[in-house]
A and B are shown apart, each in its own frame.
Chain A
Amino acid sequence: MNIFTFRGGVHPPEEKELCKDALIREAEVPETLIVPLVQHIGAPCEPAVTQGDSVKAGQVVGKARGFVSVPVHAPVSGKVKRIEKVIHPLGQKVLSVIIQNEGENDTAYMEPMGSDIESLDPKNILGRVLDGGIVGLGGATFPAHVKLSPPKEKPIDTLIINGCECEPYLAADYRLMLERTEDLILGARMIGKVLGVEKIIFAVETNKQDAATLIGDALNGNRECVLTRTKYPQGAEKMLIKAVLDREVPSGGLPMDVGVVVSNVGTAVAVCEAVRDGKPLIERVVSVTGKGVKTPANFMAKIGTPIHALIEQAGGTDGQTGKVIMGGPMMGIAQSSMDVPVIKGMSGLVVLPLQPYMMQEYGPCIKCSFCVQACPTSLLPSTLSIIAEAQKWKLAEKYGVNDCIECGSCAYVCPSKRPIVQLVKTAKQKLREIKAREKK
């Protein structure tokens, strides 16, 4: 069988064995849930409830504002305790609906639309994707209905279902592929129907061969399931499209520019549930793993569950915790507080014990060029980091800083432990500021 891959990349220790065999189990629903009104890229939601309102599970509590926005739903039934600004996994304080869980479990889902693909109208599926509050669940949280509404001049011919899960530690997508194979395929076909594409490719890394086999068998020859080499960042959209279809998303462009839509495994399952069962996105799989938790596990957790509750259900922390990361260790976001809630984009919580390297100071670039070999977009990360240190933002732009996908491969291999990604992010931010000033 052909194994697809891309140029560059790195091989960090996979560490998947910590939780890859743990079945997805329902996380306990806490008494109080925090539902942020910003859980997607785009315009924040407008509160649709007020303090003291009774809500049912699945009821809209935050209305979408504008096209690039999706609604937020109550994950449980209960009472709206407060609507206030609360610390969010992305770092800042965000307006959130605090819901008191009253344990009644009343639901107010949408009308089920059934699972007969042939009779479903693409427009209705698309509407359901929006109403279900579905965003890209791989971590990017881009509203799914926007991705599924490409302009006419950008015809789509291929849908790739991304089951690479190339981040170390995480196994949420892997578990979904194993435990929800049929839902996954159904969801993928629904997305395909919206896009009007026949060609759906499931892409899975070689370290999840069993999942690939399972999907392949279930597809029964109707669709393709391909293997991609286990290499980080294989799951990055641009790298995946290059590997599977040998197409290059142009600089500054989107997958739709080369006729492709990439959807994460979790997104496809969520689409299936929203369409077939009328269930909006109110829960998701979260891998709670890392060497800093006692019993790594995969939870089906309600959005709004504080992360400390999940970590406690995974046996609590073990030893002194260094970092709690939302997402994987390569691109995830370090958390400042254990009180932040689970949000739609939280594919995992990786708890890492305190290690000396976390506090280590970085040294000068010794031009080893490890980063140059590792960069999947063929940049010169070492040079970019030096340019950014010298604060020559315009020069950084010439060296392609905006083409950086911030995968972190460079900083991972750097023997001088230079914070290359951080420097790149700073440069990008400064360039945005310069652009904004120039416009004025």
Chain B
Amino acid sequence: MDKEKSKLILSTSPHIKSDESVSKIMLSVIITLLPAAAFSVFLFGSYVLLLYAVSVATCLLSEYLVVRLRKRPYTLNDYSAVLTGVLLVMVLPPRFPVYGVILGGVVSIVIGKQIFGGLGYNIFNPALVGRAFLAATYPVFISSYIAPNISLPMLTGAEAVDALSTATPLALMKFDGISTPLGSLFFGTIGGSIGATSAFFLILGSIYLFVKKYIKWRTPASIFITVFVLSQILHFINPDRFPSGLFQLFAGGLMIGGLYMATDMVTSPLTKKGCIIFGAGIGALVVLIRNFGGLPEGVMYAILFMNAWVPLINRGTRPRIFGTGAQHE
């Protein structure tokens, strides 16, 4: 008994913990991205596989070096750097140069995350910070897209093409007024960012995250509803100039942004009401930029812009505390 006495662990309740962990959540997100990632390799060739590998390795190495410099406990095994690496590539054009990806990875981790204090403290989505940096640094590369090197005639009716430079459906719409069939948009047999083209595979993967509640469902729901409704209103006013709600939903980066980037736990609101406001803000900005801005696509800037408001949204949407008339303060 004496021997045991000294070994009893003393700590505050609760004495049991759920089996959720940060690494489990991050790994789940990565695994659910795999269908879309695999499809992107199928669409754009093995070069993008190289980009994935380079990006993940860069992110891990950057994380390792910064953590060493800051003399902090290792955070590599939480998979968050891997996730950032994968997401960064998914939102880049298929023939983006390798050195660009390395630069983007470093910026994502160092400036996007570690400068704020590491995982949990960053204000902006790290992968999007990296992409925004690359968009400013390599304006030509970031807007050079190729057509997928396959063709599924039953979906698109198009002929097979090989690494032909092309414009994304959003750019085609904006600058040339050419619409892309919804089927190709939905399945992603179109030009676009590496992992962002296929709404189908992204939605498929995210179902698991919704079930596990790793995604606060109100955020994507609010984004998609806002985009659809606003686009549909504009489309109703002037169908020649403004594409339909469904087109806007499945074109460009809205699916990957809405399902995987706006829902990043660290950079989205804590409260239910907050998620709805956050999502509506993103949706409205996307519609605004796409239809009235100079760029064909606006998901990245919309999310980054709304990220900045999250602390304020959290403060403003604190729930009513049990037994009180209104929220405190």
A333 to B323, CA, bound (A): 27
Closest Cβ of chain B to A313, distance in Å, is: 14
Interface contacts beyond A248-B323, A352-B15, A367-B267: sample of 14 additional A-B pairs, CB < 8 Å, sorted by A: A168-B16, A242-B322, A321-B7, A338-B4, A338-B8, A339-B5, A358-B9, A367-B120, A368-B265, A369-B265, A380-B314, A408-B13, A412-B14, A415-B20
Chain A residues with Cβ below 8 Å from B70 are: none
Chain B residues with Cβ below 8 Å from A325 are: 13, 15
Mask, B285-326, CB within 8 Å of A = 1, is 000000000000000000000000000001000111111100
B24 within 8 A of A: yes
A317 to B7, CA, bound (A): 13
| B17 nearest in chain A by CB position | A357
Mask, A347-387, CB within 8 Å of B = 1, is 00010101001110101111111101100111110110000
Do B14 and A250 have beta carbons less than 8 Å apart?
Answer: no
Do A382 and B20 have beta carbons less than 8 Å apart?
Answer: no
Which of chain A's residues 391-423 have a Cβ closer than 8 Å to chain B? 398-400, 403, 406, 408, 411-417, 419, 421-422
Do A350 and B10 have beta carbons less than 8 Å apart?
Answer: no
Chain B residues with Cβ below 8 Å from A412 are: 14, 16-18
Do B4 and A366 have beta carbons less than 8 Å apart?
Answer: no
| A360 nearest in chain B by CB position | B17
Do B314 and A383 have beta carbons less than 8 Å apart?
Answer: yes
Do B268 and A359 have beta carbons less than 8 Å apart?
Answer: no
Do A380 and B318 have beta carbons less than 8 Å apart?
Answer: yes
Q: Report whether over half of chain A's contact residues are helix, strand or loop; otherwise say mixed.
A: loop
B320 contact from A238, A333, A378, Cβ within 8 A: A378
| B11 nearest in chain A by CB position | A334
A330 contact from B14, B21, B214, Cβ within 8 A: B14
Q: How many A-B residue pairs have CB under 8 A?
A: 175
Q: Knowing A12-B18, A363-B120, A364-B118, say if A398 contacts B328 (CB, 8 Å).
A: yes
Chain A residues with Cβ below 8 Å from B9 are: 322-323, 334, 354, 358-359
A399 to B320, CA, bound (A): 11
Mask, B176-208, CB within 8 Å of A = 1, is 000000000000000000000000000000000
Do A323 and B265 have beta carbons less than 8 Å apart?
Answer: no
B5 contact from A337, A372, A421, Cβ within 8 A: A337
A332 within 8 A of B: yes
| A397 nearest in chain B by CB position | B328
| B274 nearest in chain A by CB position | A369
| A330 nearest in chain B by CB position | B14
Do A336 and B10 have beta carbons less than 8 Å apart?
Answer: yes
Do A369 and B216 have beta carbons less than 8 Å apart?
Answer: yes
B323 contact from A251, A339, A364, A416, Cβ within 8 A: A251
Q: Knowing A334-B10, A416-B22, A417-B17, say if A308 contacts B1 (CB, 8 Å).
A: yes
A54 within 8 A of B: no
B73 within 8 A of A: yes
Closest Cβ of chain B to A141, distance in Å, is: 16
A333 to B11, CA, bound (A): 8
A369 contact from B11, B119, B270, Cβ within 8 A: B270
A324 within 8 A of B: yes
Closest Cβ of chain A to B147, distance in Å, is: 39
Do A372 and B12 have beta carbons less than 8 Å apart?
Answer: no
Do A372 and B270 have beta carbons less than 8 Å apart?
Answer: yes
Chain A residues with Cβ below 8 Å from B323 are: 238, 248-253, 377, 403
Do A363 and B265 have beta carbons less than 8 Å apart?
Answer: no
Chain A residues with Cβ below 8 Å from B216 are: 369
B138 within 8 A of A: no
Mask, B1-42, CB within 8 Å of A = 1, is 100110111111111111011101100000000000000000
Do B1 and A251 have beta carbons less than 8 Å apart?
Answer: no
Do A364 and B120 have beta carbons less than 8 Å apart?
Answer: yes
Closest Cβ of chain B to A306, distance in Å, is: 10
Do B14 and A251 have beta carbons less than 8 Å apart?
Answer: no
A214 within 8 A of B: no
B322 contact from A248, A382, A415, Cβ within 8 A: A248
A325 to B9, CA, bound (A): 10
Chain A residues with Cβ below 8 Å from B265 are: 366-369
Chain B residues with Cβ below 8 Å from A382 are: 270
Chain A residues with Cβ below 8 Å from B166 are: none
Q: Knowing A238-B322, A368-B265, A369-B270, say if A419 contacts B12 (CB, 8 Å).
A: yes
Chain B residues with Cβ below 8 Å from A376 are: 322
Q: Knowing A369-B216, A380-B318, say if A331 contacts B13 (CB, 8 Å).
A: yes
| B25 nearest in chain A by CB position | A415
Chain B residues with Cβ below 8 Å from A372 are: 270-271, 319
A421 to B271, CA, bound (A): 20
Closest Cβ of chain B to A401, distance in Å, is: 10
| B75 nearest in chain A by CB position | A363
Chain A residues with Cβ below 8 Å from B11 are: 323, 334, 358, 419, 422
Closest Cβ of chain A to B78, distance in Å, is: 7
B111 within 8 A of A: no
A325 to B268, CA, bound (A): 37
A335 within 8 A of B: yes
A110 to B198, CA, bound (A): 80
Chain A residues with Cβ below 8 Å from B159 are: none
Which of chain A's residues 54-113 have a Cβ closer than 8 Å to chain B? none
Closest Cβ of chain B to A363, distance in Å, is: 6
Q: Knowing A250-B324, A323-B15, say if A413 contacts B8 (CB, 8 Å).
A: no
